[in-house]
Amino acid sequence: MKPPAGPAAAEWGRHLDWMEGVPPPAPGAAPRLLPGLLLVAALAAGAYGLARLGAGRAGTGLLDPVMLALLLGLVAGNLGLPLAACRPGAAWTLRRLLPLGIVLLGARLDFFAVLRVGAAGLALSVLFVVAALLLLGLMVRLGWLPRREGWLLGIGTAICGGTAIVALAPVIRAKEQEIAVAVATVTLVGLATMLALPVAASALALDANGFGLWAGLAIHQTPQVVAAGFAHSPAAGEIATIVKLARVCLLAPVVVLLGLLWTRTGGEGVTRARPWWRMLPLFVPGFLGLALLRTLGLLPDLALHWSTLGTGGTRFEFSSATLAAHLAGICLAVAMAGVGLESTVAAFRRTGLRAVGTAGFAATLLALFALGTILLLF
């Protein structure tokens, strides 16, 4: 079943939802993409330039190009400039380049790296999802949130932000305003978490394994997880992506279970959920497929050597995995510049303060829970 149309479908967070499996809105007249493409490309180029300038002084850390591109986009989008002509191009990068970048990340992942996460790490993903749902459910019982809004925020916090909200909404017959508030809230809270966790990890001296697990668990939406993970280190980014995808794959069974629970606890009759294969974001099999090719050694590495009379010769090496990793970084930087460009303060103001406060408090508790469990187990 398609998600509800109307104002909720036009909310500012939809660009992050589309790439995770939510059907796009019906196409209208073909927009002009070039102004927006040029702007986000310029912002991404500026991010790479700033990262190169700061690398010698501050190392990688927060000077990761993907994170910097997001921050530059946030600044540009909130300067009050007339950027309406740039919105279509920016949205195109979010729908196309963001999932492509995540798929290409698979080329740098060897499945043996999953062993670094281990069964305990994957079990931690399931534990976090259960804890998030129970916590938001408790807040509903305490009267902090209306029931539908609490359930929407619960699944959005537990699994994958706005995508999970839009997947559950038709099942529990949520109203458009409830969907709009929930989507904006989890995206805003996820953005704040994405910016805060690398700073906290630096203060706590977390290694790549610890921070990768923490980011994959505590941050709501996949692009936010990727940006925060790779801001720490490539290894942390890979682990964060794996843990996040484990949470995303739980979307379909959780939606079905919550639909059954909704009717058994006095909710209105539910509508039929979409088939599970339509809830699975397309970039998940793409990422896993490319990672499998890398693990099996099927991504070619070429080396050419030729010599001329009187010279020592010339050697040229080409690695398809390295090329894919560089292209992934470029795609993600450009797309995250678009995410920042779309995240305006005016949109934040439409979000209910009570929902933001409650969701922010829940996210903080869950992040501390995840961190404590990681430190205990790893």
- State pLDDT tens for residues 79-125: 878 888 888 888 888 778 878 887 887 777 666 665 666 677 778 88
The confidence score (pLDDT) of residue 179 equals: 73
**Of 30 and 190, which is predicted with more confidence?**
190
- Helix or strand or coil: residue 132? helix
pLDDT single digits (tens) 164-181: 786 787 778 877 667 767
Long-range residue pairs from 27-36, CB within 8 A, at least 24 positions apart, any chain: 31/88, 31/89, 32/85, 32/88, 32/89, 33/88, 33/89, 33/92, 34/89, 35/85, 35/86, 35/89, 36/85, 36/86, 36/87, 36/88, 36/89, 36/90, 36/91, 36/92, 36/93, 36/338, 36/341
pLDDT at site 138 = 93
Average pLDDT over residues 191-217: 90
Task: Summarize pLDDT for 270-300 with one digit per residue, the tens.
Answer: 455 555 555 556 676 787 788 788 888 887 7
Q: Which residues are CB-neighbours of 285 under 8 A, at least 6 positions away?
A: none
Q: What is the dihedral of CA 47, 51, 53, 57, to 10 degrees?
A: 150
| Average of per-residue pLDDT across 347-355 | 65
DSSP, collapsed to helix, strand or coil, labels residue 315 as strand
Residue 255 scores a pLDDT above 90: no
The whole-angstrom distance between residue 370's C-alpha and the CA centroid of its chain comes to 18
CB 328 within 8 A of CB 108: yes
